[in-house]
Amino acid sequence: MVVPVNVVIDTDPGVDDFLAIALALNSPELAIEAFTTTGGNAALRHTNANMLRILEALDGTAIPVYRGAQRPLVGSFGDAEDVHGEGGLPIRLPTPVMRPRPGHAVKFLARRLANGPPLTLIALGPPTNVARLFRDFPGSRRFVDRVVVMGGALDVPGNVTPYAEFNVWSDPEATAVVFESGVPVTLVGSDVCNRVRAHAADTPPPIDPVIGRLVEAQFAARPGRYITLYDPLTVMAAVRPDILVLEPLAIEVDTTSGPERGRTRRSHVGTVIDVATDVNADAAISLFTERVIRGRFRR
């Protein structure tokens, strides 16, 4: 018997977010209580609508959605529409009928943590909502089992600057708050994500037609016809933690306004968190293929 982990997934869909959400929906190891949204890959109005569209496309409308951060702790979000497509997705989906629940995502999380069993939070986008939760409702920290964060680049170049990975670069102050919160943190960054790529030549045709359109659009957008599984691998850290090798490392985040803003680096003075330093890429691709590519989403 699988005893599922109670999770809330915070996300900024986004292509790989879409694929990670699909993986989560088909993972009995997770009891998904809600999705919360943030700006990041696109403006919040787009990412929130995309979240609703995704749940309608994948028959997940029983799970509530709460609208979250429109801007980072400092400044404003950029976007990655050049990577994910206009509005955050490269395919068109119908205007959603589903609506987000009333109230801000952070207030929902605080209320839920005060009144229920502990949660694992999975942050697939900039961790602004989680940081605001810990800052504005510090008592909530003791009810969070773990925060799993997609972000960072230690020994590989960043994907938005030579130093910084997109999610951390989008809100380095929030990332620092999460790392320094005292809550157990698992960081799944570019160092391992770059090793987990689904190549078109090795990927069977998806069973679900929407997944098929999405995957083909991403394959077509890259000369090498592959998808790097950033967010799906982060969900796997909660679903199948044995796929990753975690190492406790002291990590600090560059929150200066200089060229290294958003950089994550090893440091003697940084906070110790669990960092993914190695991955069983074959097992990760196999799980992705089983649950997303060959997955069925309409019950």
Question: For strand 244-253 and strand 264-266, is the pairing parallel, antiparallel, or unpaired?
Answer: antiparallel
Cα separation, 147 vs 121, in Å, equals 5
In a domain, 60, yes or no: yes
In a domain, 97, yes or no: yes
In a domain, 141, yes or no: yes
User: How many domains, in total, are found in the chain?
Assistant: 1
Please write the tens of the pLDDT for every residue from 19-59: 999 999 999 999 999 999 999 989 999 999 999 999 999 99
Q: Residue 214 phi/psi, 5° resolution? A: -65, -50
Is the CB of residue 35 less than 8 Å from the CB of residue 124? no
Smallest Cα–Cα separation from 206: which of 79, 19, 25, 63? 19
Cα separation, 69 vs 17, in Å, equals 17
Provide the 10 A C-beta neighbour count for residue 94.
Answer: 8
Over residues 91-100, mean pLDDT: 94
In a domain, 298, yes or no: no
Cα separation, 129 vs 174, in Å, equals 8
**Which alpha helices (H) appear in 208-277, and where do they start and end?**
209-221, 230-239
Cα separation, 39 vs 37, in Å, equals 7
Is the CB of residue 244 less than 8 Å from the CB of residue 193? no
Q: What is the mean pLDDT of the chain?
A: 95
Provide the 10 A C-beta neighbour count for residue 55.
Answer: 20
Smallest Cα–Cα separation from 8: which of 37, 41, 33, 45? 33
In a domain, 235, yes or no: yes
Q: Which tokens is 147 given?
A: 């925060």
User: For a pLDDT cut of 90, what percent of the chain falls above it?
Assistant: 90
Please, which pLDDT band fits residue 87 given cuts at 50, 70 and 90? confident
User: In which domain, by residue range, is 76 found?
Assistant: 5-293
Please write the tens of the pLDDT for every residue from 277-293: 999 999 999 999 999 99
Please write the tens of the pLDDT for every residue from 173-227: 999 999 999 999 999 999 999 999 999 999 999 999 999 999 999 999 889 999 9
In a domain, 299, yes or no: no
Q: Which residues of 289-299 are buried (b: 16+ CB within 10 A; e: fewer)?
A: bebbbebebee
What pLDDT score was predicted for residue 80?
Answer: 67
Residue 6 has pLDDT above 80, yes or no: yes
In a domain, 57, yes or no: yes
Please write the tens of the pLDDT for every residue from 50-84: 999 999 999 999 999 999 999 999 998 877 666 76
Q: Specify the CATH number for the domain of residue 189.
A: 3.90.245.10
In a domain, 249, yes or no: yes
pTM value? 0.96
